[in-house]
Amino acid sequence: MFISMLMMLIYSSTIYGQKLMKLDDELKANSKPIEAKRKGMSSIGKYEFGPYKIVSGKGGWGTTTSKKNFFSFETKSESKTKLSFVFVANEKDTILVNTATNTKFSQSDFSFGDLSTTTLNQSIDNFIAMISPGYDTTVWKMVLVSRSGAEVEGNYTSEGILTNGPMNIQIRTIKQWEDGKNPVFKMICGYEFFIDNNSIAAVQANLNLTPKKFVWLHQNLDEKMKSILAAASASIMIYTDEAQSDKGN
């Protein structure tokens, strides 16, 4: 019931028009929003944006375990999923992306007569993406840790890093729209990539029901760096798709 009401409120807040998230001023001045459109009906979204696209993908294995504490009405669960996709940049460079998500969450269920309530206490997602460009032996690893629920300060938090070893790119959340308004329930609008506090890219991908997603890439980046950041952005789109699907079930 709670999840259904949440999704209805989110939908009503976005149906009247598409929004762009608030970017760092430097990135906004040196990039343009590239809309990412999902093609086909495959389980893994074949997103295309600018010269970048997911051409194929497949799901791996998935497991879920649960343990219920009858004395506290609390259920603790853990799920693990894997998937992979092939990403193409500029019609020539192929990048293989393998992802794994480990989710641990606890919820409290209470029933009395015809009344029943479910409260999500806390959900912790550990999302890992291994980004392997075909034109290089260097593998990039992205780690994104997200938390949500009644026990999480601010309801939704997330932070991450994209690294090849020598270079570390920080991933920060954006929780405000360009018009200065905040999303319903303080949800995350998207993510921004930083090197030494300088914004270099961003992706708008969230749990809203709107299909609109966008990517920004700083114009001063070389093409290989743009391709890695585009693949990382596509990975986050797939991750938020999976998270939205899980929370809608």
- Across the range 93-103, mean pLDDT stands at 93
Percentage of the chain beyond pLDDT 70 is: 73
pLDDT at res. 3:
41
The three-state (H, E, C) secondary structure of the chain, written as one string: CHHHHHHHHHHHHHCCCCCCECCCHHHHHCCCCEEEEEECCCCCCEEEECCEEEEEEEEEEEEEEEEEECCCCEEEEEEEEEEEEEEEECCCEEEEEEEEEEEEEEEEEEEECCEEEEEEEEEEEEEEEEEEECCCCCCEEEEEEEEECCCCCCCEEEEEEEECCCCEEEEEEECCECCCCCCHHHCCCEEEEEECCEEEEEEECCCCCCCCEEEEECCCCCHHHHHHHHHHHHHHHHHHHHHHHHHHC
Determine which of 68-72, 95-99, 144-148 has the lowest per-residue pLDDT on average.
Answer: 68-72
Is 15 a residue whose pLDDT tops 70? no
pLDDT per residue as tens digits for the range 163-177: 999 999 999 999 999
Please tell me the predicted confidence (pLDDT) of residue 11. Answer: 38
* Model pLDDT for residues 189-236, shown as the tens digit of each residue: 999 999 999 999 999 997 665 558 999 999 999 999 999 999 999 999
Answer yes or no: is pLDDT of 182 > 60: yes
Q: State residue 211's pLDDT score.
A: 57
